[in-house]
Structure 1
Amino acid sequence: MKKINSKTIFELFMIAIGCAIYGLSLDMISVPNKLADGGISGIALILRHFWKINMGLSTLILNIPLIILGYHFMGKHLLAYTIWGTICLSFFLAFWRLVPIISQLNLEHDLFLSAILAGSLSGFGLGLVFRYNGTSGGTDIIARIFQLKLGIPSGKTLLACDALVLLASLSYLDIKHMMYTLFASYVLAKVMDTVQQGAYSARGLFIISNNYQEIGTVINNKLERGFTYLKGIGGYQKTERPVIYVVVSPREVPIIKNSVEKIDPNAFISIIEVHEALGEGFTYEQKKLKLFKHR
């Protein structure tokens, strides 16, 4: 059995914080402003409206097969984190209702502002939960499975699930509140993916040129960035040609483009977005860019 270490305790703590923020968003913004919800909570609302089924009971019953499915795909470790997240969310949903601040924030006059705040807070909370390998139960489990097995961002999966549930919720919701809820779900997905994948966005550059050595020297001396030579083979002439791969901050991209253009105007440059960069120069102490150099 895996021992509980400081990393595990920290992850469990951050999952609890994420569930607290998510629960606060539901209690403080979504419910008072009559915004619907997606996922299991949305299904529970439908069951309560038509068949008067208790939401706590229906949520528990609906989560059981999903937890079993999660165990089959995610294993015992992630299952334990999922159960912890489910318990934390249930606790904070009850806890926040007892705090006076809930009744002090009245946004009922502005559904647009309510949708933005609800989506932002919920997305931030769920982003923390997913970033530290947990889920809050419900469709979060499906999103985690799709992320692990298919590489689909969790935010997109949650948005699709929420859209299906909200479509079914039209059976009792008016179109105005449903559309604002869908907008909140969109904001949630974007914020959650940003928090989960990392807010710092870098750029990856693939550079193909016969003057690769000179370009590499400029990257090393001018930006003080590390780079890698990859082995490439031309598709037409089948000749070998090194490919330079380097990861830089967005503000450094124009510097590299201008430098490469001066060395080889015919060089091929492909730029991709890197959601998160770990290592020296990014998560470690970053070298300062020298704008002015003594000659």
Structure 2
Amino acid sequence: MQKNKLEIAKDIFLITVGCALFGFSLVNINIANQLAEGGFTGITLILNSLFDINPAYSILILNIPMILIGWKILGNQSLVYTLYGTFMLSFFLEIWQRIPVVIPTEGDLLIAALLAGLAGGIGSGLIYRAGGTTGGSDIIARIAEKKYGIAMGKTLLAFDVLVLVLSLSYIDLPHMMYTLLNSFVFTQMVDFMQQGSYSGRGILIISEKSDAIADNILAELDRGVTYIKAEGAYSKQEKNILYCVMGSHEIVTAKNIINQTDPNAFISILSVHEVLGEGFSYDPKPKGRFQKNKRTAKNSSNHTQ
């Protein structure tokens, strides 16, 4: 599905901001505190430390051939986004080296590692969320997956480990340990930024009074409920399992509703990392869209008690 001009403009903006933040982190935190990095970015830091090669140039020298090799795998839009992300990262690496900024870590590598993970992870997360990359090991991983069936995660991990081991040529073991902390925080922030949308709770309910519980949730919480057809393994009886997604703050109210309707109901509450759809990622219909069920819900509740 082709994106419209507004969506493309939004993606370009996110990639630009992400590259600016990631580049800032590399120059003013990683390089300033001798913290390594994985992937092709880590190779640029090795070249900078050992041969004084500007990362703004080496990132292009390393990435452009890889992008050209992998252009069939990336597809047209991803290719354009990756090219743009690579050039923007190179641009901002040059800019941040020309603009002196001092991050007051006071020589504390723990603070530096945490800041590098936060800033770099948010920046990269914005790039990935827009559908872009900065090339490098992502392309190698995609080629390995397509040609040899090797999972991308395994290739990325192996490449990062190799680069980090090579980084011991210019940093000592304590700096490497802080680099690993940086990588952990970086990964968590990338995951968080990619999830991006509303997170909540899913709730599964098994009850002999499923209709009454569904009506009460519809009426009191204004949340949609779905019936899942199931069969008890022991009883061999068909049942309706209720599934509903709601905000974390609504769980207590939901449990009270269920308990008042059927104290013997079986409830399973699930963590939902991301929720997309009406009432979560876009505005719901006017409040009370289920209010027509209120009378039914009350009658069902009274009938079953």
Alignment correspondent of 1:27: 27
Alignment correspondent of 1:293: none
What is the rounded CA distance, in whole Å, between the counterparts of 1:169 and 1:282 in structure 2? 44
**Match of 1:26, as an amino acid?**
L
What is the rounded CA distance, in whole Å, between the counterparts of 2:267 and 2:140 in structure 1? 38
**Match of 1:281, as an amino acid?**
G
Measured against aligned partners, the alpha-carbon deviations of 1:86-120 in whole angstroms (never above 9, x if no partner) come to: 010000000111223x2x32425111111111110
Alignment of 1:90-105 (within 5 A): 90-100=90-100, 102=101, 104-105=102-103
User: Would you say the 8 A contact 2:197–2:276 is kept in 1?
Assistant: no
User: Would you say the 8 A contact 1:135–1:144 is kept in 2?
Assistant: no
| TM-fit CA distance, 1:284 | 3.2
What is the rounded CA distance, in whole Å, between the counterparts of 1:116 and 1:99 in structure 2? 22
The TM-score, its normalising length taken from structure 2, stands at 0.79
What is the rounded CA distance, in whole Å, between the counterparts of 1:182 and 1:43 in structure 2? 16
What is the rounded CA distance, in whole Å, between the counterparts of 1:244 and 1:153 in structure 2? 36
Q: Unaligned regions of 5+ residues in structure 1, if any?
A: 290-295
Alignment correspondent of 1:193: 191
User: Would you say the 8 A contact 1:198–1:275 is kept in 2?
Assistant: no
Alignment correspondent of 1:234: 232
**Match of 1:226, as an amino acid?**
G
What is the rounded CA distance, in whole Å, between the counterparts of 1:52 and 1:208 in structure 2? 65
What is the rounded CA distance, in whole Å, between the counterparts of 1:283 and 1:185 in structure 2? 30
1:90 to 1:49, Cα distance in 2 relative to 1, 3 A: closer
| TM-fit CA distance, 1:207 | 1.5
**Match of 1:253, as an amino acid?**
I
| TM-fit CA distance, 1:53 | 7.3
| TM-fit CA distance, 1:161 | 4.6
What is the rounded CA distance, in whole Å, between the counterparts of 1:64 and 1:12 in structure 2? 19
Alignment correspondent of 1:220: 218
| TM-fit CA distance, 1:145 | 8.4
What is the rounded CA distance, in whole Å, between the counterparts of 1:217 and 1:192 in structure 2? 39
1:249 to 1:159, Cα distance in 2 relative to 1, 3 A: farther
Alignment correspondent of 1:170: 168
After the TM superposition, which of the residue ranges 225-234 and 156-165 deviates more from structure 2?
Answer: 156-165
What is the rounded CA distance, in whole Å, between the counterparts of 1:248 and 1:91 in structure 2? 43
| TM-fit CA distance, 1:228 | 1.3
What is the rounded CA distance, in whole Å, between the counterparts of 1:198 and 1:165 in structure 2? 29
SS at match of 2:75: helix
Q: Which one of 125, 133, 136 corresponds to residue 135 of structure 1?
A: 133
| TM-fit CA distance, 1:139 | 2.6
Q: Unaligned regions of 5+ residues in structure 2, if any?
A: 289-305
Which entry has the higher C-alpha Rg, 1 or 2?
2
| TM-fit CA distance, 1:42 | 1.6
Measured against aligned partners, the alpha-carbon deviations of 1:257-290 in whole angstroms (never above 9, x if no partner) come to: 232233333323222222222233223346889x
Q: What value does the CA root-mean-square deviation take over the aligned residues?
A: 3.4
SS at match of 1:169: helix
1:96 to 1:59, Cα distance in 2 relative to 1, 3 A: closer
Alignment correspondent of 1:205: 203
What is the rounded CA distance, in whole Å, between the counterparts of 1:147 and 1:116 in structure 2? 32
SS at match of 1:201: strand
Q: Percent identity?
A: 47
Alignment of 1:57-206 (within 5 A): 59-64=59-64, 66-68=66-68, 70-100=70-100, 102=101, 104-141=102-139, 161-198=159-196, 200-206=198-204
| TM-fit CA distance, 1:126 | 0.6
Alignment correspondent of 2:40: 40
User: Would you say the 8 A contact 1:82–1:136 is kept in 2?
Assistant: yes
Alignment correspondent of 1:292: none
What is the rounded CA distance, in whole Å, between the counterparts of 2:126 and 2:133 in structure 1? 9
The TM-score, its normalising length taken from structure 1, stands at 0.82
User: Would you say the 8 A contact 2:34–2:171 is kept in 1?
Assistant: no
User: Would you say the 8 A contact 1:159–1:185 is kept in 2?
Assistant: no
